[in-house]
Amino acid sequence: MSHVLDASALLALIRLEPGADRVTVALTARPIMASLNLGEVAQRLVLAGSPREGIAALLAAYPLTLVDVDGDLALAAGFAALATRAYGLSLGDRICLMLAKRQGWPALTADRDWAKVADALGVRVDLIR
């Protein structure tokens, strides 16, 4: 089964953090990722001092299918704000979760709070650690 990859999962792989092995396995099933979440990864890397060219080459090397955020996905993420507010989930978090719901695939993340809202949102969350 494939996954919808969260920024935290891809960052764990890039940084060789705990759970990176789970992300490596998930990549063999050709996961998808919202373009917004890829932007989050690039943001974190550039703020950490990585050069833009290196970031672009690194991210292009991963077998990800990017999904653009359309109006329906944006609205679903906005509407999920009430259910996730107590856990501090960002718009990017909700985009990933709502993409997973739309696909019927689990979201792969390092964010433990996602598991606390999964049932309320009707989505499966797989934690990498």
Which CATH number covers residue 74? 3.40.50.1010
pLDDT by residue (tens digit) across 72-128? 999 999 999 999 999 999 999 999 999 999 999 999 999 999 999 999 999 999 999
What is the band of 129 on the pLDDT scale with cuts at 50, 70, 90?
very high
Residue 1's pLDDT is what? Answer: 77
Measuring CA to CA, how many Å separate 107 from each of 6, 31, 35, 57, 128?
7, 10, 15, 25, 10
| Domain of residue 53, residue span | 4-127
* Structural domain count of the chain: 1
pLDDT by residue (tens digit) across 19-66? 999 999 999 999 999 999 999 999 999 999 999 999 999 999 999 999
